[in-house]
Amino acid sequence: MKKLLLAVIALFFMGTVFSQQTAVKMTRQDAAKLHVNVPLHQTPSATPQNYVPQNLRGNTLPYFTIGQTRYDLQTNGSMAQRLIMFDDGTSAATWTTCGTSSSSRGSGYNYYNGTSWTQGSGSSAPINRIESVKTGWPTIAPIGDNGEIVISHNGSTGLVINVRPNKGTGNWSETVLQGPSIYDSYIGGNSTALLWPSVATNGNTIHLIACTESDTVSLYQGIQTCLLYYRGTYNPSDNTIVWENPRIVADMANHLDWFNGFGGDSYVIVANGNTVAVVYAEPWTDAFMWKSTDNGENWTTTTIVNSVVPDIFDEGIHLVDTIGGPAYVTDGSFAAAIDDNGKVHVAFGLTGVSNPDVGDGGIFVYPAIDGLFYWNESMPALLAQTKNQLNPDSLEANGYTVFSKVDLNGDDDLYGLSNANSDTYSFTDYHRTGVTSMPSLAVDGNNVYLIWASCLEYPFIGVNATNTPAYYRGIFGAKSINGGTSFEDGISWLSYNKSCYYVDWDLYDWDPDASEWNDGSIEMEGENVYPSIAQNIVNGKLNIIWHSDYFPGNAQGSVSQNDPTLVLFTSIDADQLGVYNNIEEIPQGLWIDTWTGIADNTLSGMQLYPNPASDVVNVIFSSEETANAQLTIHNLMGQQVYSESIAIQEGSNVVRINTSNFQAGVYMVNIKSNQGTTTQKLIVR
């Protein structure tokens, strides 16, 4: 696959080599000041080191390894649909897989029949591809009454389409969808390649978008790497697809001043019934939504974010200065979903950029800026075109929900790694994505489910492929029960791992001139990235996959000769997202227990009766020890409305609370001791 390097696309964040690092507190304001100067057209090297994957996870959620790959790079920005759940509760997943040779790259696949993963799981999880040729960047969708379709690109002649009428069984029917013939100066001839597909379906109708392959002298209707929309009709009787002629998405051809080209995975397509939406957000640029309410026939254009960064931005254009801070921008990683009323929901990762010194060959990026913000069509668009309109603090002040790096140990501080020489932080590049990014969305009725990847705080750090210390990332999730107006319960740490433990290297005879880069680190933790949630919720279950290995960072498309990255699957009750494994349940004092892992929580089983309550509520819970604890109640604004010091006994405990003075609403009841914590939702009428 040849990759077009537009001026803005070619700006990769280089992992800085750190030394003499210590743990320091980091605020959102501190993060906004930290930047690195990114040289143009410079990509990081990444040769994975040898390691022995243990695949040991001490989570209480059930985890299954359903796939393997030696190819780290799964997307250039946003994730196309990788996991689907059918109406009968079965599931199918795909990913870019690869063995020890790059020629084996293709679409990995596994199917859950309601009892087991039919292609194997655990150590026997599949690494083989379903195509007959080398491909990459797969996306999957249900089709017809009981079928499935997987679409990937071969990087040369078009998109490889694999379809079968019965999910999970039977032979795949493989065809190639060629794009329009365009002169390509790379090969000195015409190319029909289509790249980076994203697909959504509605019964027998297929909605597909992908980019043409072109360069600065090879345009399609005036647009470089033009985004095309294909609509197809599936015939289940003979397992064939009839494709309509391609169209440029929406009215792009009439707005060439908006677009000089599209980058890989800078767009997603979603559908619900006859409503179809394409969301586009190149890193740092404007964000648009093109929407059809007649099954892809006609489209309207909505600007979601009017970025302060010029439409055609390169190193020759001045943009703010480092003293005044960066321009806050989208990071190119986002997700979309459509509810049953046809409303589009979107989540964007945030980062920062500036170019104070024209002509120095580089652009400042701000990798420590932290924020993932949620938007839907009932909310105002961000059209001010000011450098601070996407500042997380400004967004929250204007009523938007913003998620950020989580205070895992509950001590009210966020710890990061600092370098004594440069005073910057060690973040690993995933194509310019921010600290909290890689979102995936699902909507069911009035419930909005959002998952994402976020950097963990110190000491959850490891060494990446270039021997640079970097943060591990974890998978988190939250939900809204009011259509996205607010996210009530809290945040679930979905990749929570009780098997990890803290190693203090100062206790050992460690060579300070070799690879010591901090006083301690976490063993048995891993990098958890690229989450994907099935947009169909069946039997109250959320199905989720992500990729996990033991080295932070992205190998940027190289093929590892060592043990592969694992594709992990879990399923969680939808109403428990934001409650289950709540981050407040890992407080300071039992967060990390040296050599033995995260200590067991001594408090459990909280029940509230009656609930809803009016005059009084009984708080019932169990404790594994006799201790003193603090019982607090907060409203959904985070304001404390009740607090009481209590003495708890080993075994069952009951605390009676007068709620007659509480205003009607939803509250969170929490009990916290030195060795445990438990939280439950209370409704007062």
What are the two backbone dihedrals, phi and then psi, of residue 159, each rounded to the nearest 5 degrees? -100, 140
pLDDT value of residue 225: 86
Select from 206, 213, 186, 208 the least CA-distant residue to 197: 208
Question: Lowest-confidence range among 360-369, 548-557, 596-605?
Answer: 596-605
Confidence band, pLDDT 50/70/90 cuts, at residue 134: very high
In a domain, 481, yes or no: yes
| pLDDT exceeds 70 at position 39 | no
Q: Which domain holds residue 636?
A: 603-684
Percent of the chain scoring above 70 in pLDDT: 78
Give the Cα separation of 254 and 256 in Å (integer): 6
Confidence band, pLDDT 50/70/90 cuts, at residue 5: very low
pLDDT value of residue 426: 54
- Mapped to the 3 state alphabet, what secondary structure does 318-365 carry? CECECCCECEEEEEEEEEEEECCCCCEEEEEEEEEEEECCCCCCEEEE
pLDDT value of residue 336: 98
Based on the number of CB atoms within 10 Å of its own CB, is 547 exposed (0-12), middle (13-18) or buried (19 or more)?
buried
**Do 443 and 527 share a domain, yes or no?**
yes
**Burial call 248-286: b when 16+ CB within 10 Å, e when fewer:** bbbebeeeeebbbbbbbbbbbbbbbeebbbbbbbbbbbb
Per-residue pLDDT averaged across 543-568, rounded? 85
| pLDDT exceeds 60 at position 397 | yes
**Do 458 and 390 share a domain, yes or no?**
yes
* Helix/strand/coil percentages in the chain, nearest 5: 5, 45, 50
In a domain, 47, yes or no: yes
Position with higher pLDDT, 94 vs 676: 94
What predicted TM-score, i.e. pTM, was given to this entire model? 0.83
pLDDT value of residue 60: 57
pLDDT value of residue 466: 64
Select from 185, 189, 204, 92 the least CA-distant residue to 144: 204
Per-residue model confidence as pLDDT tens digits over 281-337: 988 889 999 999 999 999 999 999 999 988 777 777 888 876 778 899 999 999 999
Q: Which amino acid appears at position 270 of this protein?
A: V
Per-residue pLDDT averaged across 255-265, rounded? 70
In a domain, 406, yes or no: yes
**Do 595 and 659 share a domain, yes or no?**
no
**Do 589 and 627 share a domain, yes or no?**
no
Select from 412, 401, 324 the least CA-distant residue to 364: 324
pLDDT value of residue 256: 56
**Do 528 and 632 share a domain, yes or no?**
no
Q: How many domains does the chain have?
A: 2
**Do 618 and 595 share a domain, yes or no?**
no
| pLDDT exceeds 60 at position 433 | yes
DSSP 180-205: --EEETTTTEEE--EEEEEEEEETTE
pLDDT value of residue 325: 80
pLDDT value of residue 410: 61
Confidence band, pLDDT 50/70/90 cuts, at residue 133: very high
DSSP conformational letter for 600: P
Per-residue pLDDT averaged across 219-223, rounded? 81
Per-residue model confidence as pLDDT tens digits over 438-457: 999 999 999 999 999 998 87
Q: Extract the runs of DSSP E, i.e. beta strands, from 377-433.
A: 402-403, 415-419
Tell me how far apart the 2 most distant CA atoms of the chain are, in Å. 80
Q: Tokens for 557? A: 């498309």
DSSP conformational letter for 167: T
CA atoms within 13 A on the CB side of 284: 27
Per-residue model confidence as pLDDT tens digits over 452-481: 999 887 777 776 666 667 788 999 999 999
Question: Lowest-confidence range among 140-154, 177-191, 385-399?
Answer: 177-191
| pLDDT exceeds 80 at position 657 | yes
In a domain, 300, yes or no: no
**Do 501 and 370 share a domain, yes or no?**
yes
Confidence band, pLDDT 50/70/90 cuts, at residue 413: low
Please give the C-alpha separations between residue 538 and each of 88, 89, 209, 567, 588, in angstroms, as whole numbers. Answer: 7, 6, 27, 22, 37
pLDDT mean across residues, the chain:
82
**Burial call 488-510: b when 16+ CB within 10 Å, e when fewer:** bbbbbbbbbbbebbbbeeeeeee
**Do 594 and 609 share a domain, yes or no?**
no
pLDDT value of residue 29: 61
In a domain, 648, yes or no: yes
The alpha-helical segments, DSSP class H, found in 344-417 are 392-397
In a domain, 392, yes or no: yes
Q: Which of 584, 599, 614 is the last residue of a domain?
A: 599
**Do 609 and 461 share a domain, yes or no?**
no
Per-residue model confidence as pLDDT tens digits over 102-126: 999 999 999 999 999 999 999 899 9
Per-residue model confidence as pLDDT tens digits over 154-191: 999 999 999 999 999 999 999 999 999 988 777 778 88
- Highest mean pLDDT out of 190-199, 216-225, 356-365, 515-524: 190-199
In a domain, 139, yes or no: no
**Do 644 and 594 share a domain, yes or no?**
no
Select from 532, 456, 499, 472 the least CA-distant residue to 66: 532
Q: Which of 561, 581, 599 is the last residue of a domain?
A: 599
> Could you tell me the CATH number of the domain that includes residue 630?
2.60.40.2550
**Do 595 and 620 share a domain, yes or no?**
no
| pLDDT exceeds 70 at position 57 | no
In a domain, 321, yes or no: yes
Q: Which of 559, 580, 599 is the last residue of a domain?
A: 599
The alpha-helical segments, DSSP class H, found in 187-275 are none
**Do 525 and 609 share a domain, yes or no?**
no
